[in-house]
Chains A and B, each alone.
Chain A
């Protein structure tokens, strides 16, 4: 049941048949936006879990700004994935950035961080591991660490973007939509939306709170430029319910 239900998210992302094909998110930028009422951390967890699944040879580079390793370890253990073992196998690189700061007027800290990522990527490429997913959790904290200089964060993301186009890495980033609501020109989030190939938004239901629906997920999947696969932009919308060891996805109206 859970397997079948989770297909709604996988379908929207084009993750349905792995094994036979290459990682479909390769070379793409995935932006996840959430709100304070509906956290979309579960989407990141899902993507990381999919990337680390035993069928694939994907490697995850995880930039953690919001939670310590022990938190992620607990969450993933519930999902049936041992992060400790994965990092021993060199498939999960955890960059703990909880305490990091990138003081204003100097981009050096972010350059060094990018350098770390590039080092990991280059060593993995030498080992002939092609599918690398870079996950940022989350961008608003990176902006805060850069003292609100969102331009530095954008520069950093631009450099990460060069990794996606040059080596087919996947860039997954989480950001909060509602903290930019009052702004006239929220450059960081707008620029990211332009950059993103797949844009996901987790929002509360328009009708208000419900006991068995925790929110809705809207996914815009922009077509690929190389003419393969689905070429037209697609939008999917479905509801979700976060449970202790997984998430249920279902079409609107199929639950009470």
Chain B
């Protein structure tokens, strides 16, 4: 499933269409959106490096972590950081997003501490200015791939931070401008859905073609409300969870997929929805004395039982006497015996039923109630 997300981002935009966009959203009950973000980031980076993707470069807008964090992350995941300038550019909106440090330096408070820290990335000193942000992202991208038809990807690590400083409409404008820019191949961002009003989440959902949401395994445990009994259940939420992805096709079809993930060594791993979850759910059911479900062996055994009314023989057609005369009976009656008819059950190989009729007046068998002459 994450493969199909990464594939869509890798394949990029069609001519005359908006670039595919991915929203990754999470909440405090399962705050692993950033893990998903780094997963997508590394997948896409390796595809860009291998030349398999439509885009030839990536612009990373760092709002929640420092650029050096991302450089370290890429280094740890085995990317060649020395050559990183050729394919990745980091726009540093983390170090001084509001220009405070600049103000302090200007007022002669302190010498600038950050010259070396920010050398790798270009600094954005006012994230409130969406137009400036837009032009600096596009400029960085063009610096990577040049003018013309070559495209690049845009990754924004936490849009929630921008929403804190700017209005919904201006941020939505920024995102859709980026999406419709003809040099942008694909774009993805993460957000904390519980920090915003619901309409913000809806707006992000409309702008994006894919929405990946991270949810806790059990919804009831919200936050750290706990006592020692549900501690283990709660702890599970802090390294495992559910992952839903919603894909919107061009024709309007919407597909939803679910997976499970677990986080280890700060790397997120995805697995198909496991039955372990069901097992836990089942174990939460009240214990009953009898089994409500059959095991496979029990089902096979049950299928083997031959019910008494079924034909127990040897492949001959099943003849269940239905009260009317059968073909065999009429043959027998062709040579009538004066005192009665001897009927044999030919179908039975083991036994027979001999039936002696009292008189010819008696009907062979009938539905009439034998007791209806009783005067009760």
Question: Contact at B228–A237, with CB atoms within 8 Å?
Answer: yes
Question: Contact at B235–A234, with CB atoms within 8 Å?
Answer: yes
A116's nearest neighbour on chain B, judged by CB, is: B109
Question: Contact at A232–B104, with CB atoms within 8 Å?
Answer: no
Interface size range of chain B in the complex:
35 or more
Task: Judge whether B100 is part of the interface by a CB distance below 8 angstroms.
Answer: yes
Task: Judge whether A16 is part of the interface by a CB distance below 8 angstroms.
Answer: no
Question: Contact at B117–A190, with CB atoms within 8 Å?
Answer: no
Nearest CB of chain B from residue A126's CB, rounded to whole Å: 10
Give Cα A162–Cα B161 distance, bound, in whole angstroms.
14
A190 and B231 contact, Cβ closer than 8 Å, known pairs A201-B224, A225-B73, A227-B266: no
Give chain B residues whose Cβ lies under 8 Å from the Cβ of A151.
164
**A17-25, A43-51, A53-61, A216-224: which lies at the B interface?**
A216-224
Task: Judge whether B132 is part of the interface by a CB distance below 8 angstroms.
Answer: no
Among B65, B73, B97, B192, the residue within 8 A (CB) of A190 is B192
Q: Which of B98-127 contact A (CB under 8 A)?
A: 98, 100-101, 103-104, 107, 109-111, 113-114, 117
Nearest CB of chain A from residue B240's CB, rounded to whole Å: 10
Task: Judge whether A86 is part of the interface by a CB distance below 8 angstroms.
Answer: no
Interface residues of A (CB under 8 A from B): 107, 111, 114-115, 118-119, 122, 125, 151, 154-155, 158-159, 162, 165-166, 185, 187, 190-191, 193-194, 199, 201, 206, 216, 218, 220, 222-227, 231-235, 237, 252
Give Cα A235–Cα B263 distance, bound, in whole angstroms.
15
Give Cα A232–Cα B98 distance, bound, in whole angstroms.
34
Task: Judge whether B265 is part of the interface by a CB distance below 8 angstroms.
Answer: yes
Give Cα A114–Cα B113 distance, bound, in whole angstroms.
14
A165 and B231 contact, Cβ closer than 8 Å, known pairs A122-B113, A225-B266: no
Offer 30 A-B interface pairs, CB within 8 angstroms, sorted by A. Answer: A107-B100, A111-B100, A111-B104, A118-B110, A122-B110, A122-B111, A158-B97, A162-B66, A162-B96, A165-B66, A165-B68, A165-B69, A185-B196, A185-B197, A190-B195, A199-B224, A206-B227, A223-B263, A223-B265, A225-B69, A225-B266, A226-B76, A233-B238, A234-B235, A235-B226, A235-B231, A235-B234, A237-B226, A237-B228, A237-B231
Pick the 10 closest A-B CB pairs, nearest first.
A233-B238, A231-B265, A165-B66, A115-B104, A206-B227, A235-B235, A115-B109, A111-B100, A225-B266, A252-B228
B231's nearest neighbour on chain A, judged by CB, is: A237
A220 and B113 contact, Cβ closer than 8 Å, known pairs A118-B104, A162-B94: no
Give Cα A165–Cα B228 distance, bound, in whole angstroms.
34
Task: Judge whether B41 is part of the interface by a CB distance below 8 angstroms.
Answer: no
B235's nearest neighbour on chain A, judged by CB, is: A235
Give chain A residues whose Cβ lies under 8 Å from the Cβ of B28.
190, 193-194
Of the candidates A166, A194, A232, A237, the one having the most CB atoms from chain B within 10 angstroms of its own CB is A194
Give chain B residues whose Cβ lies under 8 Å from the Cβ of A159.
100-101
Give Cα A166–Cα B31 distance, bound, in whole angstroms.
23
Give chain A residues whose Cβ lies under 8 Å from the Cβ of B95.
162, 166
Nearest CB of chain B from residue A146's CB, rounded to whole Å: 14
Task: Judge whether B239 is part of the interface by a CB distance below 8 angstroms.
Answer: yes
Task: Judge whether B194 is part of the interface by a CB distance below 8 angstroms.
Answer: yes
Q: Dominant SS at the B interface?
A: loop
A235 and B238 contact, Cβ closer than 8 Å, known pairs A158-B97, A199-B224: yes
Nearest CB of chain B from residue A234's CB, rounded to whole Å: 7
Question: Contact at B164–A227, with CB atoms within 8 Å?
Answer: no
Nearest CB of chain B from residue A177's CB, rounded to whole Å: 9
Give Cα A248–Cα B220 distance, bound, in whole angstroms.
32
Nearest CB of chain A from residue B280's CB, rounded to whole Å: 18
Give Cα A235–Cα B223 distance, bound, in whole angstroms.
12
Question: Contact at A218–B65, with CB atoms within 8 Å?
Answer: no
A232's nearest neighbour on chain B, judged by CB, is: B239
Question: Contact at A218–B224, with CB atoms within 8 Å?
Answer: yes
A123's nearest neighbour on chain B, judged by CB, is: B110
Q: Which of B60-106 contact A (CB under 8 A)?
A: 65-66, 68-69, 72-73, 76, 94-98, 100-101, 103-104
Task: Judge whether B301 is part of the interface by a CB distance below 8 angstroms.
Answer: no
Task: Judge whether B264 is part of the interface by a CB distance below 8 angstroms.
Answer: yes
Question: Contact at B228–A191, with CB atoms within 8 Å?
Answer: no
Question: Contact at A111–B103, with CB atoms within 8 Å?
Answer: yes
Give chain B residues whose Cβ lies under 8 Å from the Cβ of A231.
264-266
B100's nearest neighbour on chain A, judged by CB, is: A111
Give chain A residues whose Cβ lies under 8 Å from the Cβ of B114.
166
Among B110, B164, B234, the residue within 8 A (CB) of A115 is B110
B32's nearest neighbour on chain A, judged by CB, is: A233
Give chain B residues whose Cβ lies under 8 Å from the Cβ of A154.
164
Question: Contact at A185–B73, with CB atoms within 8 Å?
Answer: no
Question: Contact at A166–B66, with CB atoms within 8 Å?
Answer: yes
Give chain A residues whose Cβ lies under 8 Å from the Cβ of B164.
151, 154
Give chain B residues whose Cβ lies under 8 Å from the Cβ of A158.
97
Give chain B residues whose Cβ lies under 8 Å from the Cβ of A234.
235
Among B100, B226, B234, B238, the residue within 8 A (CB) of A114 is B100
